[in-house]
Chains A and B, each alone.
Chain A
Amino acid sequence: MGARERSIAAVPISALALLPAALAAQLYWHHRLPPPSAAATGLAAPPPQPVLEVAAAGDPTSFAKVLMLRLQAFDNQPGISIPFRALDYGRVIAWLSAILRLDERASYPLLAAARLYGEVSDPARQRLMLEFVREEFLKDPNRRWPWMAHAVFVARHRLHDMPLALRYADALAAHVTDPGVPPWVTQMNIFVRVDMGETEAAKVLLGGLLESGRITDPAEQRFLMRRLQELEDSRGK
């Protein structure tokens, strides 16, 4: 027993009795409460942007990261798992857009749009997500091209919508100007056209690309020349 503590005998009986009695009452009270039940909560629309800015308390980048994790974890609410397909995609897009406005350099919202929400087995929802990626890509093409390239892949191989894939690939070719971006990104429209049977248009584009002098790597030049030759051969047949 420490010098600052008295014996338990110093505590009146009434106080001593109250402690176990109150603890028993608390245990009983908790026991009679219904067990917690899991209920899926619908994804609410994001608050207006000015409110998010205020809530960020001067640190929108950190706040955007927190919001992104919250949105991503929305399918796993306590005690229940909600398939992505059950989410209101209009609201998911509104959240992704709001997060991007808080942190414009973030790539997480676009990655989630292209590879998480954009890969559900629901073509209508996939198209919504791909359109969102395209709109956001156009705002900063040299930074956001990877997600647009992924959108081309999804449109071509998942949705089997070649005109849509071509539209996205054309957007890449038209808007990506950074020389540091790998050349295949801006050449995707050529290969989509080949797949679509538009060999004449593909040939013109490929020839133009070779003529422009933008392709400096000898191996890449050889590869593209060979591809051009194949196109001309197929036309001759």
Chain B
Amino acid sequence: MWRQTKTIAWFTALEASRGRLLRLMAATLLAAFLLSEIAAAAAVTESNAIRLAFLAATLRVAAVFLIASFIAGSIAREQADKGSEMVLSLPLPRYVYYLGKLAGFAVIAVVIVVLYAAMVALHSPFMQTLLWASSLLCELLIIVALTLLCSFTFAQVPVVLSAVAAFYLLSRTMEAIRLMSRGPLVDTTEPSSRLIAGIVDGIAYVLPDIGSFTPTDWLIYHSGGIGELAGIAAQTVIYIALLGAAGLFDLYRRNF
């Protein structure tokens, strides 16, 4: 089964190299480089910090967008071409197909991270860049698993991308939303306020703590450490298991 999983992963990754994803990666790198250089040139002081902040923020968003749109497009195309039906008609457990896809897209995520981190490493210490890149990879792996789940569930690319974008934004801002639900402007004696705060807390429980992933502080203030990365890695493993289980549940119940 491992060999079949590898084969599916290999062909999934091959699709990226034959498509325009690499050129798109290069274009985003160039755009992020130009934007960060303009920002650094205009800065009166802390020019390297401003360069890194623009570079890291742009590349992080670009990486999430690239991997999500590639997966959504790839799965939609495969379903339209009946490619997935052909693979699933072979004597192959569905989990092999799922894991193969997951592994193939994860390889693409690794390529994106390596390429982007190489650019960041030009302006930041190697160890901090390595920590930042590892955290970005964890973030992308969650996005890979989520987009795969949404692609099997919703099928249509705009719906998949909207769902992923909503999930990502909500996850990144959840801590601030939780604080605001109990902030000084909220009357906590009101039952409605307590209900809303409870709902917000409930949503936070089932979302990954992506807000703590890939902080730019690590690059600028060199404050990253193995301890933080270990927590991020643990959250990634747990959440990929959850998304993977949901994806498999959906895939096994589907009639092609």
Residue ranges of A at the interface with B (Cβ–Cβ < 8 Å)? 3-8, 10-12, 15-16, 18-19, 21-23, 25-27, 29-31, 33, 36, 38, 47-51, 54, 76, 78-81
Contact = CB atoms under 8 A, between A and B. Distances in A.
B241 interface: yes
Interface string B213-256: 00000000000000000000011001101101110110011110
Q: Identify which of B35, B44, B178, B179 gathers the most chain A CB atoms within 10 Å of its CB.
A: B179
A3 B255 contact: yes
Contact of B39 (A26, A33, A36, A47): A47
B204 interface: yes
A26 B205 contact: yes
Contact of A54 (B35, B204, B238, B242): B35
B254 A5 contact: yes
B38 A11 contact: no
A12 B206 CA distance: 24
Contacts of A36: 175-176, 178-179
Contacts of B185: 76, 81
A90 B81 CA distance: 61
A29 B208 CA distance: 9
A73 to B, nearest CB: 11
Q: What 3 A-B pairs are tightest by C-beta distance, nearest first?
A: A79-B179, A78-B179, A48-B42
Contact of A10 (B182, B206, B209, B253): B253
A18 B245 contact: yes
A19 B149 CA distance: 13
B50 interface: yes
Contacts, number: 111
B184 interface: yes
B210 to A, nearest CB: 12
B238 A25 contact: yes
Contacts of B255: 3-6
Contacts of A33: 209
Contacts of B208: 26
A47 B50 contact: yes
Contacts of A4: 254-255
Interface residues of B, number: 38
5 contacts: A21-B245, A23-B245, A30-B204, A51-B43, A54-B35
A29 B38 contact: no
B180 interface: yes
Contacts of B182: 79
B254 A6 contact: yes
A30 B241 CA distance: 15
Contacts of A51: 38-39, 42-43, 50
B10 interface: no
A76 B184 contact: yes
Contacts of B244: 18, 22
A47 B205 contact: no
B253 A79 contact: no
B176 to A, nearest CB: 4
A146 to B, nearest CB: 29
Interface in B139-191: 175-180, 182-185
A79 B50 CA distance: 28
B180 A79 contact: yes
Nearest to B243: A22
